[in-house]
Structure 1
Amino acid sequence: MRLTTMIFLAAAALSGNALAADPAIDISRAFARASAPGQPSAAVYLTIKNNGAVADKLLRISTPIAASAELHTMSMTDHVMKMREVTDVAIAANTTLTMTPGAGYHVMLTGLKQALVEGQAVPLQLTFDRAGVVDVQIKIDALTTAY
Structure 2
Amino acid sequence: MMKTSFAAFLAALICAAPVTALADHTHGAAEAQVLGDLAISDGFTRAMLPNAPVAGGFLSIANNGTQDDRLISASSDRAGEVQIHEMAMQGHVMKMRELPDGLAIPAGQTVELKPGGYHLMFLQVKTPFAEDESVPVTLVFEKAGSTEIELPVGPADAKAAAHGHGGHDDHSGH
TM-score w.r.t. structure 1 length?
0.80
Find out whether 1:126 has 2:139 as its counterpart.
yes
Structure with higher helix content: 1
CA RMSD across the alignment: 1.5
- Structure 1 consecutive aligned stretches of length 4 or more whose deviation exceeds 4 Å: none
| Residue equivalent to 2:156 | 143
Q: 2:121 aligned to 87, 92, 108, which one?
A: 108
What is the deviation of 1:54? 1.0
Give the whole-Å Cα distance in 1 for the aligned partners of 2:91 and 2:129: 32
List alignment gaps of at least 5 residues for structure 2. Answer: 1-34, 160-169
Find out whether 1:52 has 2:65 as its counterpart.
yes
Greater RCO, 1 or 2 (C-alpha within 8 Å, sep 6+)? 2
Look up the SS of the partner of 1:64 in the other structure.
coil
| Aligned counterparts, 1:1-147, within 5 A | 23-86=36-99, 87-102=101-116, 104-146=117-159
Structure with higher strand content: 1
| Residue equivalent to 1:14 | none
Look up the SS of the partner of 1:47 in the other structure.
strand
Give, as a single letter, the amino acid of the residue that structure 1 aligns with 2:145. Answer: G
Q: What percent of counterpart residues are identical?
A: 36
Give, as a single letter, the amino acid of the residue that structure 2 aligns with 1:124. Answer: V
What is the deviation of 1:78? 3.6
TM-score w.r.t. structure 2 length?
0.68
CA displacement 1:18-71 (0-9 Å, x = unmatched): xxxx95111111111100000000011110011111111111100000000000
